[in-house]
Amino acid sequence: MTKTKKVIILSHCILNEYSKVKKWDKDEKITELNTMDFLKFLLDNEIGIIQLPCPELKGYGLKRWGQVKEQYDHPHYRKICRDLFEPVLEQILEYQSNGFEIVSLMGIYGSPTCGISRTCSGNWGGEIGSNPDIQGTINTISSIEDSGIFMEEIYKIFENHNLDIPMIDFHKENLVSIIDQIKKSL
């Protein structure tokens, strides 16, 4: 049997949900059946997996609070993102020079770091305890059509290296269409 010579790049938390911001719902399952179905699809179709590093985990640890894009949008965090992506870029170039196709890079729908088409935005920041209108501040947070910081930096790197790799959001509600998109390249 001939291997497919196809590889996909996945955002870190697709394979490791423990890296995400802590959820307070005790009944929430760490691994969703849909995620498992997606991974089974990749393995069944012999698609290799490159796991991206997690800039939020690297920069802010496991005890971080949820943040919005504007909080991550600063030179130091963008540098963390670029530096973390450098070894992945080297892998991509090595795979491509050996005849592999990079099927896509999958971000995380709505993430301030890894969102591709959607991210979390708002006027969020400051000392929570001294905010006279915490509810008003919370109300500024919304989901907008935009990319997260890591994906913006990766997109720039792809442009600089003339890499044409499709970028799609991993979204459990769209899993069937995501799998259909990937099937087109098989």
Question: What pLDDT sits at residue 1?
Answer: 47
Question: What pLDDT sits at residue 24?
Answer: 55
Question: What pLDDT sits at residue 158?
Answer: 98
Question: What pLDDT sits at residue 138?
Answer: 82
Are 166 and 105 a contacting pair, CB within 8 Å?
A: yes
Q: How many CB atoms lie within 10 A of CB 139?
A: 11
pTM above 0.75, yes or no: yes
Question: What pLDDT sits at residue 29?
Answer: 47
Instruction: State how far the alpha carbon of 144 is from the alpha carbons of 25, 56, 59, in Å.
Output: 25, 20, 23
Which candidate, 29, 4, 49, 24, places its Cα nearest to that of 170? 49
Which candidate, 185, 178, 167, 184, places its Cα nearest to that of 37? 178
Query: What is the rounded distance in angstroms from the CA atom of residue 12 to the CA atom of residue 111?
Result: 12
Are 153 and 88 a contacting pair, CB within 8 Å?
A: no
Q: Which residues of the chain have a pLDDT value below 50?
A: 1, 27-31, 33
Question: What pLDDT sits at residue 120?
Answer: 93
